[in-house]
Amino acid sequence: MDIPQDGFLRLPQIIGDRKRGIPAIIPVCKSAWYEGCRTGRYPKPVHLGPKTVAWSRSAIAELVEKLKG
């Protein structure tokens, strides 16, 4: 999967959202994603505002390559 290296991704863009038809890059549930962020398996979020978090596109691209093995 080719992910641009600049900018940010919001959670539905990473784990997908069936209701909105957004395919998952990393197919895990929300709680598993946040647990992985907490334990270091997945990248830490970047706070864009008081109630807004996102993840670096480059960090997600690196994660995808790492998971491919």
Q: Which residue ranges make up each domain of the chain? A: 8-68
58 pLDDT band, cuts 50/70/90, is very high
Burial of 51 by CB count in 10 Å (0-12 exposed, 13-18 middle, 19+ buried)?
Answer: exposed
pTM: predicted TM-score of the whole model, two decimal places: 0.88
Name the phi and psi angles at 26, rounded to 5.
-120, 105
- Give me the mean pLDDT over the 40-56 stretch: 97
Beta partners for residue 17, in sequence order: 22
Whether residue 2 has pLDDT greater than 80: no
What letter would DSSP give residue 19?
A: T
